[in-house]
């Protein structure tokens, strides 16, 4: 990797879904050489092991209704560090451009003339689905795939329900655990069969991964019985049927509810 520039710079880096083996080579090199790491709640402890012991670590995590820093504070922090001449890695779970607010942060940096670079990561949809043995597309089941967020900027979940219930597609919902009963209810109300398969995956790609499968009609009860907690990813569509035959990943504490 070429030497860092003399002026400060922010590297927006995707940490992937949790398994450190899924980090890109570029991400690992930056973690080992950066002066400051600003990281989120969804970044796994195993990924942080690549960070240089000399680097300053700043936690800027966000959980549901619990923010260590507001987004505006994070933006201001990144600008401050870079203008001080620091080489900063802004580390985000998954891919920073897929429901990671990476675009918002880069807009703030660009407005202040701060140099930046983007290092993509494996997004949760593809990484978690792969570790759960659920192909997002399949010629027999799904010819398209939609990524949606379970809550919007204003805190609502006013999704495009008629589009989400179309057949022959897979719907992946990020951050949808809290609204799962309403998601299932709305999809059935807009024409999806109560028997449409659905999976909820907790801690995808790491040793504590749990996979719960069911249908739109019974999934809220199954998830409650399993005691799933965030972070979770929801996958809806006929491809979920393939989980039980294609689930190759055997974590230390695997619990698959059938």
Around Cβ 154, how many Cβ atoms within 10 Å? 6
Q: 192, 165 in Cβ contact below 8 A?
A: yes
Q: 46, 18 in Cβ contact below 8 A?
A: yes
Distance CA 31, CA 91 (A): 9
Instruction: State yes or no: is 40 an active-site residue.
Output: yes
The radius of gyration of the chain's CA atoms, rounded to the nearest angstrom, is 19
Residue the block writes with tokens 């700043």: 58
SS3 246: helix
Distance CA 96, CA 30 (A): 15
Q: 254, 132 in Cβ contact below 8 A?
A: no
| Catalytic residue, candidates 19, 40, 95, 203 | 40
List the structure tokens of 6: 């003399």
Q: 118, 45 in Cβ contact below 8 A?
A: no
- Return the closest-CA partner of residue 59 out of 32, 93, 18: 93
User: What is the helix (H) or strand (E) element at residue 220, kind and residue range?
Assistant: helix 219-226
Strands across the sheet with 87-92, in order?
56-59, 36-39, 87-92, 9-14, 115-119
| Catalytic residue, candidates 62, 80, 218, 241 | 62
Active-site residues: which are they?
40, 62
């Amino acid at each position: 990797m070429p030497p860092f520039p003399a002026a400060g710079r922010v590297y927006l880096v995707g940490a992937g879904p949790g398994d450190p083996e899924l980090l890109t080579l570029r991400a690992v090199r930056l973690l080992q050489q950066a002066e400051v790491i600003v990281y989120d709640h969804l970044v796994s402890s195993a990924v942080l092991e690549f960070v240089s012991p000399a680097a300053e670590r700043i936690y800027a995590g966000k959980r549901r209704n619990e923010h260590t820093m507001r987004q505006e504070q994070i933006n201001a922090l990144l600008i401050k560090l870079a203008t001080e001449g620091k080489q900063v890695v802004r580390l985000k779970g998954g891919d920073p451009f897929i429901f990671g607010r990476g675009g918002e942060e880069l807009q703030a940096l660009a407005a202040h003339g701060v140099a930046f670079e983007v290092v993509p990561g494996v997004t949760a949809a593809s990484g978690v689905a792969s570790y759960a043995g659920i192909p997002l597309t399949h010629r027999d089941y799904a010819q398209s795939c939609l990524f949606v967020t379970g809550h919007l900027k204003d805190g609502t979940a006013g999704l495009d329900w008629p589009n989400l219930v179309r057949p022959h597609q897979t719907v992946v919902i990020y951050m949808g655990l809290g609204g799962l009963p309403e998601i299932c209810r709305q999809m059935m109300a807009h024409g999806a069969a109560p028997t449409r398969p659905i999976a909820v995956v907790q801690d995808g790609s790491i040793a504590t991964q749990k996979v719960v499968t069911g249908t739109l009609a019974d999934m809220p009860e199954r998830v409650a019985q399993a005691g799933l907690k965030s972070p979770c990813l929801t996958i809806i569509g006929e491809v979920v049927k393939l989980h039980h035959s294609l689930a190759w990943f055997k974590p230390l504490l695997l619990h698959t509810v059938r």
